[in-house]
Amino acid sequence: MPALLPHAPAASLRVLAVVPGNGQGSSFIFARRQIASLANVDVNVRTFFLGSRTSPIAIARDWTRVRREIRQFHPHLIHAHYGTLTSFLCAVVTAIPLIITFRGNDLGDDPDVSLLRSRLGQLLSQASCLKAKQIICVSRRLRERLWWHRRRAVVIPSGVDMNVFCPQSSEQARTSLGWKKDERVVIFDEGRAPERKGLKFVQSAVRLAEAKVGPIRLAILDRSVAPDVVPCYLNASDCLALASVFEGSPNIVKEALACNLPVVSTDVGDVSERLSGVIPSKVVKRDPVEFANALAEVLLERRRSNGREMVEICSVPRVAAAIRSVYESSLAIPQEFSALDGVAQG
């Protein structure tokens, strides 16, 4: 059964965070990390994990559980950390002011699920906006997909922990993973959506790139890779490949930049913005030949990027302060923390 986890000591501002999944492993880990960071800006957050979004019986149980939690915790705000049924449940379960964070495929088609389920989820997301006090979108493009209350939406990408994701010795990282020191490695984040993430496309592009640079190891981050090992994978690799058909603000790109790992990506979400000024890195069309050429160019150059200095704006402390500012403005509280330039954008 999903657990309720306290994340901060008592503070004046209480927020109930509602997150899909069971809170284990890599499930919505970017949201969980963001929630944990709010303790540092004096927000008392309690997390409710919504275990099932498809079982009517489980949803009915969660309805009862979340109402009970609201009565016990008395939050000032509810923060739904995803759209679809998660935000819709939060919108109808209580009159407490609602904040919604939209993260990507909750406002776009997801080829890894049925078209009917994907479109129904988007409809629930859009309907939830009618109740939201304020809306957070992780990219400008995502905000443009809102049907209603776009003026209530700010753009705040998920934060990256610069202490966890930081440059390390590539040689030591490869040794720990059992990789050869001289092989060329491209890393790809499959997540739980190989079709939406473009796995087959990347595999095809890697094969084409091998004709120019020789053998390439394609290291795939799937469900078997523990979250705490991901920084080691990023530091052991030569390049991150991202070829999603739809994204909000892919966290793996920010994490790669924090490790100074070059990135080759299609133009999705906020990737072009994140990679602006990052050298070496490439944003290319979703064409396997062009993608392969970009991979080959980065792999032949074989050097780290300047990504860390460019992604500092998305560091966890800055994002936490921006979210605290959204909470305060939603409740008309005099602001101790203001949204930071370049992080929170109206």
The full set of domains in the chain, from first to last, is 4-159+315-331 (3.40.50.2000), 170-311 (3.40.50.2000)
| Higher pLDDT among residues 8 and 153, named by residue | 153
Exposure b/e, 119-137, CB count within 10 A at least 16 = b: eebbebbbbbbebbbbbbb
CA–CA dist 138, 275 (Å, integer):
16
Burial class (CB in 10 A: 0-12, 13-18, 19+), 234: buried
Percentage of the chain lying above the pLDDT 90 cut: 80
pLDDT band at 5 (very low <50, low <70, confident <90, very high): very low
Residue 75 is predicted with a pLDDT of 96
Residue 344 is predicted with a pLDDT of 53
Contact 22, 51 (CB under 8 A): yes
Instruction: Tell me, rounded to whole angstroms, the distance of Cα 82 from its chain centroid.
Output: 10
pLDDT band at 181 (very low <50, low <70, confident <90, very high): very high
Residue 2 is predicted with a pLDDT of 41
Residues 275-299 pLDDT 10s:
999 999 999 999 999 999 999 999 9
pLDDT band at 6 (very low <50, low <70, confident <90, very high): very low
Kindly report the average pLDDT of the chain as a whole number: 91
Number of other CB atoms surrounding residue 36 within 10 Å? 17
Determine if residue 266 is left, alpha or beta; phi over 0 gives left, psi from -120 to 50 gives alpha, anything else beta. Answer: beta
Residues 207-225 pLDDT 10s:
999 999 999 999 999 988 9
Nearest to 248 by CA among 274, 224, 229, 217: 274
